[in-house]
Amino acid sequence: MAETLISVKNLRKSFGDLEVLKDISLDVHQGEVVCIIGPSGSGKSTLLRCINQLETPTDGEVVYKGENILDGKADIRKFREEVGMVFQRFNLFPLRTVLGNVTMAPVLTKHKNKKEAKDYAMELLKRVGLDGKADAKPDMLSGGQQQRVAIARALAMDPKALLFDEPTSALDPELVGEVLSVMKELAADGMTMVVVTHEMAFARDVADRVIFMADGYIVEEGTPEQVMGHPREERTKTFLSRFLAA
């Protein structure tokens, strides 16, 4: 088994009286693609936001390379450089060009010189098929193109892992494939990825492990064949039957 990169231990998160995450534990190994599926409101996105420290867990640990990043001593900025996040809504800077969006963080936080950052950004934009759009502003791009820029921006930090929070949910159906294609290439290249998704075909074909969440719990986990092909739990079977029937 590959090295454990991220380990979530007994994680809980409440918003007031509403407990959204209930004793979640999982390990993510180097080079592994983990897809998290489940109904809306099951806590999937909150789990990613707690891992990335965009939300503060109520209890539990998030251990990265052996260090609990919740203990108040960890360098969260450094952690976020190494564990990048791609959001549903792209979160690009609207007044900056595509190239400016991709080079901004490496220059400001990693102190790369501008030429080095630009050269690397152009490599990444070529990788996601957008090197011809370097001078465009985000509002000149389709949703699928914006999301590919967001992926290139995350890659510009040379992350050890990427968290994807339903990266295709805000896209028109005909644009979904271009984003999933980039993600499949990243997986094939060995990028460690945790992907919250409703794209069942992607989870089945690309994931090393699938986690099914419902009501704040991990209900079932295993290989795609185990969870999606032969689910054990009734809650999992009900969820998957809705997608298969659609």
Please report, for residues 57, 80, 98, 216, the alpha-carbon distance to residue 112 in angstroms, rounded to integers and kept in the order given: 33, 17, 18, 41
How confident is the model over 6-17, as a mean pLDDT? 96
Provide the sign of the torsion angle of the four alpha carbons 122, 123, 124, 129, taken in this order. positive
Tokens of 202: 């992607």
Q: Is the dihedral of CA 111, 109, 147, 224 positive or negative?
A: positive
Check residue 177 and give its pLDDT: 92
Q: Is pLDDT at 246 greater than 60 in this prediction?
A: no
Amino acid letter for position 167: P
- Residue holding tokens 């007044």? 95
Q: Residue 87's closest CA among 23, 143, 131?
A: 143
**How many CB atoms within 10 Å of residue 187?**
20
pLDDT given for residue 189 in this prediction? 95
Contact 168, 146 (CB under 8 A): no
Record the tokens describing residue 99, joined without a space.
């190239």
In tens, the pLDDT along 103-160 reads: 999 998 888 899 999 999 999 999 999 999 999 999 999 999 999 999 999 999 999 9
Residue 154 contacts residue 84 (beta carbons within 8 Å): yes
Answer for the pair 154, 147: CB distance below 8 angstroms, yes or no.
no
pLDDT in tens, 54-85: 999 999 999 998 899 998 888 888 899 899 99
Q: Cα-Cα-Cα-Cα dihedral of 40, 45, 46, 52, to 10°?
A: 180
User: Residues 194, 36: contact at Cβ < 8 Å?
Assistant: yes
Q: pLDDT at position 245, please?
A: 58
* Percent above pLDDT 90 for the chain: 84
Residues 57, 21: contact at Cβ < 8 Å?
A: yes
CB 222 within 8 A of CB 203: no
Residues 6+ apart with CB under 8 A from 241: none
Rounded Cα–Cα distance for residues 73 and 79 (Å) = 12
Residue 15 has pLDDT above 60, yes or no: yes
Which pair of tokens denotes residue 108? 């400001």
pLDDT (mean) for 90-99: 93
